[in-house]
Structure 1
Amino acid sequence: MSQEPITPRPEDSHAGGDSDTPDASASGSAPSTAGSGNHATAAQRRRWRRYLADEISEATVYRYLAERTDGRESEILREMADAEKRHEQHWRNLLGPQADPEPRPSASSLALQFMARHFGTVFVLALAQRAEGRSRYDEDPDAPSSMAADEAVHEEVVRALATNGREKLSGNFRAAVFGANDGLVSNVALIMGIGASGASPHMVLLSGVAGLLAGALSMGAGEFVSVRSQRELLDASRPTQVTLDVAPDLDIDRNELELIYRARGMSEEAAHHRALERFGHYSCDCDPSFSHQPEAEAEEENTENVALGTDLGAAASSFCFFASGAIIPILPYLFGISGFPGMVISLLLVGIALLGTGAVVGLLSGASPLKRGLRQLLIGYGAAAATYLLGLLFGTSVGG
């Protein structure tokens, strides 16, 4: 009996054998192959090579970050690098021989690799989070659905890792950034206003120094009062041990001691147990959480002390943070540059600093560094413009 020829199925006739790639099989359907290998259009090849460059760069970034960390975080980053290598292979399979030579990463990707290799992880992870969020695989017919899903998961993984770093930096570092930003905006506005009024260069410099000192002292004093007030509030709210002193003289049959514990929020049962403990009758077999735990209270108090810091330390930090920003607008005047050139240079220096502080805030909050930098720049320049116009108006009215 003669055998009939076997007709290949349509799904087996894809050019380039894309359905054999790991990503295609994992997704349950092969990617579109309107152009594969030599049959791809020039636009497709350019897009694939761009994707390939991005995957190579992301794998490199994660590998560098893994080398700078340890433990669980390092392991996660290495697995992320392996996942990006799998995505990289998908585009290599589509490109075939045209994957070589390897596409060169973009300037921003090279900068991110440099930062990942030589600096800390929190800012790099924040940038990597944004890069993962810009993936267009879900819109590209040549990318399997599994890869689009992977990129969505990768963004959340990087977001979680970046959040850990942000939490570590969110205290003193954030205070430093905002303190410096306050000094920048307030003093450049003061300088512009005084300069526009027609005051002498000496008066402008004097006003700038006065603004620096006044603002820094105000910030320091405010932080001192804030921390001291919080401590006093906590001290006033923390239960005292007066019950230990007066317990022997209380009437056990009229146990008003329970009222103290009930007023502090304890249930009636817990308050009764604590009162018996104070009288030395701790013999009931009940919830151990009712019992007095001096070690836990000491640990809680120590945690509060660390979180608040010292009032003098907080005041000194605020003074320095504000002063570090407020000195920038008066630098030209300190070096003898006055008049309109001095104001222009002051604005340029402040603009650079505002872009920097805004970008840092953006990174810490997971937003676009460029947009946050430009926002800070507009706010600072807006304040400076307002005081400049007021200075012009004031100078004109005085001169008239």
Structure 2
Amino acid sequence: MPSPTPVRPDVLAAPAPSARDVRRWRQYLADERAEAAVYRELAHRRTGNEREILHALAEAEGRHEAHWVALLGDRVGKPLRGDFRTRVLAFLARHFGSVFVLALAQRAEGRSPYADDAHATDAMAADERIHEEVVRGLAARGRNRLSGTFRAAVFGANDGLVSNLALVLGISAAGVSNATVLLTGLSGLLAGALSMGAGEYVSVRSQRELLEASSPDPDTHTALPHLDVNANELVLVYRARGMSAADAEAHAADVLRDRDLAPAASTSVPEVDTHEAIGTGLGAAVSSFCFFASGAVIPVLPYLFGFHGAVALIIATVLVGLALLSTGAIVGLLSGAPPLRRALRQIAIGYGAAGATYLLGLVFGTTVA
């Protein structure tokens, strides 16, 4: 077991802890053990640098664990279970080990009570604050890998849910037949899915092409042997990239001096793989099409199963509400924001748009009648 974190002198000199203190310390101990287990489980699914970082986090939780063991002494008692959130986190880490787990772990670190607990050391409170940033950094890598296709998927599903619910509610309020509502809903599904897929493809392809146009040409180094050393056009390259005139001249001189040793590296700059965060055009298009369709079919389901009138509208509205809550919570988890708040925001926006369309349908239906 790791050596305990030094206990503050005022804690050592304190009177015997109350039963309430002991219960709290034992729960802290259980939570630290559970959090260390989460990081170890995640480390098993990682390699290289990420694996080392996760093991280091587990070791830090072990130091915190040792602190509470030292304070409890012979009052440690039978090991308790970690809190519900940490147990769920451990289960997800054991069976999935995805970016969602890291996002949840980030939020868990941010909820640490040590800063307000006199029996936790300042170092432990600082550790938890830093751990949140470490996990945020690890989660950011996964978010970058997901952000392109996942963005298209989430927005596609939400657009399908909201737009087709609004369409179905609006046309239903106008007083048309059940068959007309069903046909309109299916038409909206297909048209919207094709439009979303095409739009995402064009958007992502255009963004990738812009990035490629802004990236240095890897073959530029072949011109170096033929440059006029006195004119030194290479200075202009570095000035165009943001260097001052003096820095550009110094760097260009270094490049020209070493061009025979490492010509391939002379005009290069460190690259950031922004393409990974954007995703591919085809992947975004397919994802957007499929998820728009999967969202847009939900408001149509009651009509496909033969429900009519107000019953079909209520079922469609409830189903879409549940789906909006789910997608909002997922976005909240991935972004590190409160999932419930994001879920409620999502359903409020969706119901607001659908409600406005329903009212318009009532108005136009009355006018036509």
TM-score of Structure 1 vs Structure 2, range by shorter chain: 0.7 to 0.9
Aligned mates of 2:282, 2:201 — CA distance in 1: 6
- Unpaired segments ≥5 residues, structure 1: 1-20, 241-251, 271-283
Q: Name the residue aligned to 1:116.
A: 93
Alpha-carbon contact 1:31-1:143 (below 8 Å) kept:
no
Q: Name the residue aligned to 2:153.
A: 176
Which one of the candidate residues 57, 60, 75 is aligned to 1:83?
A: 60
Residues 176-222 of structure 1: CA deviation (Å, up to 9, x unaligned): 11211111111112122222232222121112111111211221232
Q: Name the residue aligned to 2:300.
A: 330
Say yes or no: does 1:104 pair with 2:81: yes
Q: Name the residue aligned to 2:37.
A: 60
Say yes or no: does 1:134 pair with 2:115: no
The residue identity in structure 2 corresponding to 1:352 is L
The residue identity in structure 2 corresponding to 1:189 is A
Alpha-carbon contact 2:164-2:185 (below 8 Å) kept:
yes
Equivalence map 1:174-323=2 (5 Å): 174-227=151-204, 229=206, 265=240, 286=257, 288=259, 314-323=284-293
TM-score, reference length from structure 2:
0.78
Secondary structure at the counterpart of residue 23 of structure 1: coil
- Unpaired segments ≥5 residues, structure 2: 218-227, 249-254
Aligned mates of 1:326, 1:195 — CA distance in 2: 16
The residue identity in structure 1 corresponding to 2:4 is P
Aligned mates of 1:171, 1:315 — CA distance in 2: 10
Once the two structures are TM-superposed, the CA of residue 322 in structure 1 deviates from its matched residue by 1.5
Identify the range of structure 1 (77-86 vs 42-51) with the bigger mean alpha-carbon deviation.
42-51
Once the two structures are TM-superposed, the CA of residue 337 in structure 1 deviates from its matched residue by 2.1
Once the two structures are TM-superposed, the CA of residue 31 in structure 1 deviates from its matched residue by 5.9
CA 386–98 in structure 1, closer or farther in 2 if over 3 Å, else same: farther
Secondary structure at the counterpart of residue 5 of structure 2: helix
CA 111–22 in structure 1, closer or farther in 2 if over 3 Å, else same: closer
The residue identity in structure 1 corresponding to 2:194 is L
Aligned mates of 1:235, 1:162 — CA distance in 2: 27
CA 33–378 in structure 1, closer or farther in 2 if over 3 Å, else same: farther
Secondary structure at the counterpart of residue 56 of structure 2: helix
TM-score, reference length from structure 1:
0.73
Secondary structure at the counterpart of residue 155 of structure 1: helix
Residues 141-169 of structure 1: CA deviation (Å, up to 9, x unaligned): 11121211111121121111111211121
Say yes or no: does 1:397 pair with 2:363: no
Aligned mates of 2:167, 2:47 — CA distance in 1: 48
Q: Name the residue aligned to 1:147.
A: 124
Which one of the candidate residues 324, 334, 339 is aligned to 1:364?
A: 334
Residues 362-392 of structure 1: CA deviation (Å, up to 9, x unaligned): 1222212222122112111221222222223
CA 31–176 in structure 1, closer or farther in 2 if over 3 Å, else same: farther
Once the two structures are TM-superposed, the CA of residue 309 in structure 1 deviates from its matched residue by 6.9
Alpha-carbon contact 1:29-1:144 (below 8 Å) kept:
no
The share of aligned pairs that are identical, in percent, is: 60
Say yes or no: does 1:23 pair with 2:19: no
Alpha-carbon contact 1:32-1:142 (below 8 Å) kept:
no
Aligned mates of 2:265, 2:126 — CA distance in 1: 51
Computed over aligned residues only, the root mean square deviation of the Cα atoms, in angstroms, reads 3.9
Aligned mates of 1:193, 1:336 — CA distance in 2: 19
Q: Name the residue aligned to 1:33.
A: 14
CA 358–34 in structure 1, closer or farther in 2 if over 3 Å, else same: farther
Residues 82-123 of structure 1: CA deviation (Å, up to 9, x unaligned): 221221232233334443222223332221111000003311
CA 141–74 in structure 1, closer or farther in 2 if over 3 Å, else same: same
Q: Name the residue aligned to 1:246.
A: none
Q: Name the residue aligned to 1:51.
A: 28
Aligned mates of 2:282, 2:122 — CA distance in 1: 57
Alpha-carbon contact 1:33-1:142 (below 8 Å) kept:
no
The residue identity in structure 1 corresponding to 2:351 is Y
Identify the range of structure 1 (84-93 vs 130-139) with the bigger mean alpha-carbon deviation.
84-93
The residue identity in structure 2 corresponding to 1:102 is P
Number of positions where the alignment pairs a residue of Structure 1 with one of Structure 2: 345
Aligned mates of 1:181, 1:124 — CA distance in 2: 23
Q: Name the residue aligned to 2:322.
A: 352
The residue identity in structure 2 corresponding to 1:389 is L
The residue identity in structure 2 corresponding to 1:121 is S
Bigger CA radius of gyration: 1
Secondary structure at the counterpart of residue 104 of structure 1: coil
CA 346–110 in structure 1, closer or farther in 2 if over 3 Å, else same: same
Aligned mates of 2:313, 2:275 — CA distance in 1: 44
